[in-house]
Chains A and B, each alone.
Chain A
Amino acid sequence: MASRKKVLLKVIILGDSGVGKTSLMNQYVAKKFSNQYKATIGADFLTKEVMVDDRLVTMQIWDTAGQERFQSLGVAFYRGADGCVLVFDVTMPNTFRSLDSWRDEFLIQASPRDPENFPFVVIGNKIDLENRAVSARRAQGWCHSKGDIPYFETSAKEAINVEQAFQAVAKNAMAQESDVELCSDFPDPIKLKDDQAKPRENCAC
């Protein structure tokens, strides 16, 4: 029987400040939304357990802002990322135009093994607002040109489509993960410990 190793997925949220990165993360993890705008200082992360194809997966979601000036966390922030969510605000065209540089920045810093197929997801946020300025068509066009990145339109405020967007990034990240597992040269060793009724813990080290 194949072993069910516990999986940790590291997901990074990028995008211009004010597009709703922190709100999306809070909506997804804590189901909370606040109109109060407090600029994110430095980086922070939240953890959420999700089911992906019947498998329990722990998602570690990283949010950032103002890194350059505040206690830079350097490449450690991007290192080992399994997925990346690029966010823009559908009412602010300039935030959409920034997606290119956010994607490039990520690929340079994280330097994933297979950049062409890295699991990105693009989110057009704040669709609850009236003054929309970037059409779905335009956004989809960009996503298509970058290797068919999945595109989601969300509202962190009204909790529209947020689950779906993060679920998609988890699912795609998992698909990559299993590719790697299959290539692994090391067979999973037989573990006796888990079969015992009440295993004795190894005396801590």
Chain B
Amino acid sequence: MSDISRSHEYLSFRSTIPQRKIIVDDDNSKEWTLYEAGPKTVKSPLICFPPASGTADVYFRQVLGLSALGYRVIAVEYPIYWTMKEFVEGFRKLLDHLVLDRVHIFGASLGGFLAQKFAEHSCRSQRVASLILCNTFYDTTIFQQTNSAPTFWMMPAVYLKKMVMGSFERRATEPEIVDSIDFMVEKLDGMSQQALASRLTLNCMNCYVEPQKLRDVDILLMDVFDECALSSGVREEMCKCYPEAKRAHLKTGGNFPYLSKSTEVNVFLQIHLRKYDMGPYRARELTENELQLLSEADGTLNKSS
């Protein structure tokens, strides 16, 4: 077992936060898996979308860390969906089921791509308050797998796992990054062939985001400056695609900074979400102290010098 799985922090996460399963489709086998923490009074929580290899619990450090600060955080794991249409409609039904009008989404790798696709899909209904995209992309053709993607469903699990494993950085030396890889390998190992095949299909099937449809969405782009599966060219493309987006760079973090550099990632998430604190799309409940400080800053201090 990996060090993270054995850590006190992870064990306490699993023993305090219940795992929920929710079915929103007619097909009873399509189950969403959720971990949720924080006040239910908050109607615009932070939803976390995992990468292809990840389960919902890869975000346990965001769920624990941010809920301790008053945020409502929901880490989800997708059912076996084979098409983008199925995914965006499925997620919309999940939001309806949870009675959430507008949410903030934090997505990494495939999760970031899906978050953009959902924002694009719901650009009229505006179900997305903001996006935080980590180590991600906006066009699946970069993987040059669009031809083989339709056959993933029948590929043996070993083959699919190798495909993903091949992109894990093996030369990592920072202990936190090494630990994060061990943990992800374990998650990947535990995945069924169907689950993994469906995610890789979404990941590689010919599809792209139309950035003009996301023009009005507040976006934070998070990425690492050390080695990760995506080349720096792809990361720069993301920045060009969203020139208005704020950029949160991490010196190091590897493929899974939300695990390896969770403190820094959580600070970026906090700063990003803070601008919603006083409005209808707030992701947390403020303390008395903070409410007072904010009203002071808006009132008395807001004078011309």
A interface residue numbers (CB < 8 A to B): 5-8, 10, 35-39, 41-45, 47, 58, 60, 66, 69-71, 73-74, 76-77, 79-80, 186, 189, 193-194, 199-205
A204 and B304 contact, CB distance less than 8 A: no
Kindly identify which residue among A58, A76, A201 contacts B143, using a CB–CB cutoff of 8 Å: A201
B267 and A70 contact, CB distance less than 8 A: no
B167 and A204 contact, CB distance less than 8 A: yes
A204 and B249 contact, CB distance less than 8 A: no
In whole angstroms, how far apart are the Cα atoms of A36 and B303 in the complex? 7
A35 and B230 contact, CB distance less than 8 A: no
Residues from chain A with Cβ under 8 Å of B99 in the complex: none
Q: Assuming A10-B251, A202-B229, what are 17 further A-B pairs, CB within 8 angstroms?
A: A8-B250, A35-B304, A37-B303, A41-B274, A41-B294, A45-B271, A66-B297, A69-B290, A70-B290, A70-B294, A71-B290, A193-B231, A199-B233, A201-B142, A203-B143, A203-B163, A205-B53
B143 and A200 contact, CB distance less than 8 A: yes
Tell whether A71 pairs with B143 under 8 Å between CB atoms, given A41-B294, A193-B231: no
Taking CB as reference atom, which chain A residue is nearest B254? A205
Tell whether A71 pairs with B69 under 8 Å between CB atoms, given A201-B230, A202-B166: yes
CB<8 Å pairs between A and B, sample of 20: A6-B225, A35-B304, A37-B301, A37-B302, A39-B297, A39-B301, A47-B246, A47-B247, A58-B249, A70-B290, A71-B69, A73-B267, A77-B267, A199-B231, A199-B233, A201-B137, A201-B142, A204-B137, A204-B167, A204-B203
In whole angstroms, how far apart are the Cα atoms of A47 and B247 in the complex? 7
Residues from chain B with Cβ under 8 Å of A80 in the complex: 251, 264
Residues from chain B with Cβ under 8 Å of A6 in the complex: 225, 232
In whole angstroms, how far apart are the Cα atoms of A193 and B200 in the complex? 22
A204 and B229 contact, CB distance less than 8 A: yes
Tell whether A205 pairs with B304 under 8 Å between CB atoms, given A71-B69, A73-B267, A80-B251: no
Taking CB as reference atom, which chain A residue is nearest B235? A6
In whole angstroms, how far apart are the Cα atoms of A43 and B270 in the complex? 10
Most chain B CB neighbours (cut-off 10 Å) among A35, A44, A47, A204: A204
Nearest CB in chain A: distance from B267 CB, A: 5
Q: B76: CB under 8 A from chain A?
A: no
Taking CB as reference atom, which chain A residue is nearest B298? A38
Taking CB as reference atom, which chain B residue is nearest A82? B251
Nearest CB in chain A: distance from B242 CB, A: 13
Nearest CB in chain B: distance from A37 CB, A: 5
Give per-residue flags for B52-68: 1 if the beta carbon is below 8 A from chain A beta carbons, else 0.
Answer: 11000000000000000
Nearest CB in chain A: distance from B245 CB, A: 11
Nearest CB in chain B: distance from A99 CB, A: 22
In whole angstroms, how far apart are the Cα atoms of A79 and B267 in the complex? 11
Q: B153: CB under 8 A from chain A?
A: no
Residues from chain A with Cβ under 8 Å of B267 in the complex: 43, 73, 76-77
Nearest CB in chain B: distance from A31 CB, A: 17
In whole angstroms, how far apart are the Cα atoms of A73 and B250 in the complex? 16
A66 and B293 contact, CB distance less than 8 A: yes
Interface residues in B272-305 (C-beta closer than 8 Å to A): 274, 289-290, 293-294, 297, 301-305
Q: B144: CB under 8 A from chain A?
A: yes
Residues from chain A with Cβ under 8 Å of B274 in the complex: 41-42, 71
A43 and B271 contact, CB distance less than 8 A: yes
A36 and B231 contact, CB distance less than 8 A: no
A186 and B173 contact, CB distance less than 8 A: yes
Give per-residue flags for B211-242: 1 if the beta carbon is below 8 A from chain A beta carbons, else 0.
Answer: 00000000000000100011111100000000
Kindly identify which residue among B164, B232, B270 contacts A203, using a CB–CB cutoff of 8 Å: B164
Q: B204: CB under 8 A from chain A?
A: yes
B171 and A203 contact, CB distance less than 8 A: no
A205 and B109 contact, CB distance less than 8 A: yes
Residues from chain B with Cβ under 8 Å of A58 in the complex: 225, 249
Taking CB as reference atom, which chain B residue is nearest A189? B171
Q: B130: CB under 8 A from chain A?
A: no
In whole angstroms, how far apart are the Cα atoms of A71 and B65 in the complex? 13
In whole angstroms, how far apart are the Cα atoms of A189 and B266 in the complex? 31
Taking CB as reference atom, which chain A residue is nearest B221? A47
Q: B168: CB under 8 A from chain A?
A: yes
B109 and A204 contact, CB distance less than 8 A: yes
Nearest CB in chain B: distance from A67 CB, A: 11
